[in-house]
């Protein structure tokens, strides 16, 4: 692998890693187009900032790291992802990762949480009340690497999010609404997420959920880390934000043996 390639990918990895951690959500799943500033506050007071654009199953994230600007574009319709290096007018292209509902506040199919997930079988165990909220209890059965597992979820009937998850390893995740607040001029719901597990101390994370955008726009983690979206503007985003400029040159992926990239 060439020194130049290593240098570019090293910077891209640093920048894009922060990009993805900043939101803590699958923003490309958002049903409402918007733009926003991304801000990450570290426990040492350091701040990292970027810009996000979302619309029509597409997402663009811009960020500067070590003096270089990095851009990530994801087009779920084309199942393609691009990493752009504006200073070099070059880009990398590869298949986009599939959409997942791994974010704690991600919406779940209320009729069947296993919909679209081959190998999983869901069984409706009836209605229950969790912290004053109506929820449907589901037993989920599947297998991983030849080992069967069972997990249980209580899915909020209004929001479609798991209020309680009992995991196969004995861990538990509990989401509890704290109340309604105004955040950066937007009406949001404040939720507390409590995670516990065998031989692990309990951890608490606070999340501010935006009902219009259907995603978390602020998270506070143990240790003082805060991720948030600010200056949110709802509206259709220009199509040119989600395509690679015509004067950019594609960078070839280096061969597995470590030969030079073109």
Q: Quick check: 24 pLDDT over 50?
A: no
Is the confidence at residue 223, as pLDDT, over 80?
Answer: yes
Q: How confident is residue 1, by pLDDT bands cut at 50, 70 and 90?
A: very low
| Span(s) in the chain for CATH 2.50.20.10 | 121-213
> At residue 129, does pLDDT exceed 90?
yes
More confident residue, 107 or 111: 111
Nearest CA to 34 out of 207, 228, 245, 230 is that of 230
pLDDT above 90 for 10: no
121-213, CATH topology level = outer membrane lipoprotein receptor (LolB), chain A (2.50.20)
pLDDT grade for 110, boundaries at 50, 70 and 90: low
What element of type H or E holds 23? helix 3-23
Does pTM surpass 0.85?
no
pLDDT tens-digit profile of 63-92?
Answer: 887 778 899 999 988 999 999 999 999 999
pLDDT in tens, 157-185: 988 889 999 999 899 999 999 999 999 99
Q: Is pLDDT larger for residue 56 or for residue 240?
A: 240
What's the mean pLDDT when you consider all of the chain?
Answer: 82
Q: Report the distance separating Cα 69 and Cα 109, nearest Å.
A: 38
User: Burial letters for 66-77: b for 16+ Cβ neighbours within 10 Å, e otherwise?
Assistant: eebebbbbbbbe
53 DSSP 8-state letter = E
Q: How far apart are CA 96 and CA 72, in angstroms?
A: 11
CA dihedral 154, 158, 159, 165 (to 10 degrees): -10
Collapsing DSSP to helix, strand or coil, 224 comes out as coil
The band of 26, judged by pLDDT with boundaries at 50, 70 and 90, is: very low
pLDDT at 230: 94
pLDDT tens-digit series, residues 138-164: 999 998 888 899 999 999 998 888 999
Q: Of 81, 98, 41, which Cα lies nearest the Cα of 229?
A: 41
């Amino acid at each position: 692998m060439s020194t130049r390639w290593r240098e570019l990918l090293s910077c891209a990895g640093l920048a894009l890693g922060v990009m993805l951690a900043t939101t803590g959500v699958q923003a490309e799943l958002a049903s409402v187009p918007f733009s926003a500033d991304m801000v990450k506050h570290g426990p040492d007071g350091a701040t990292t900032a970027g810009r996000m654009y979302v619309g029509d199953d597409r997402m663009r994230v811009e960020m500067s790291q070590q003096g270089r600007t990095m851009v990530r574009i994801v087009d779920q319709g084309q199942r393609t992802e691009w990493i752009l290096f504006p200073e070099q007018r070059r880009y990398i292209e590869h298949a986009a990762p599939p959409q997942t509902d791994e974010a704690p506040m991600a919406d779940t199919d209320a009729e069947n949480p296993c919909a679209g997930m081959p190998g999983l079988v869901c069984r409706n165990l009836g209605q229950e009340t969790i912290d004053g909220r109506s929820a449907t209890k589901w037993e989920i059965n599947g297998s991983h690497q030849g080992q069967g597992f069972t997990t249980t979820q209580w899915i909020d009937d209004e929001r479609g999010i798991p209020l309680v998850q009992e995991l196969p390893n004995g861990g538990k995740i509990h989401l509890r609404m704290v109340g309604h607040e105004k955040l950066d001029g937007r009406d949001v719901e404040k939720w507390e997420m409590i995670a516990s597990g065998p031989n692990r101390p309990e951890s608490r994370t606070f999340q501010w959920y935006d009902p219009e955008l259907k995603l978390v726009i602020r998270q506070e983690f143990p240790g003082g880390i805060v991720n948030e979206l600010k200056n949110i503007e709802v509206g259709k985003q220009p199509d040119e934000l989600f395509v690679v400029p015509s004067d950019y040159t594609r960078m070839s992926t280096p061969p597995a043996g470590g030969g030079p990239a073109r």
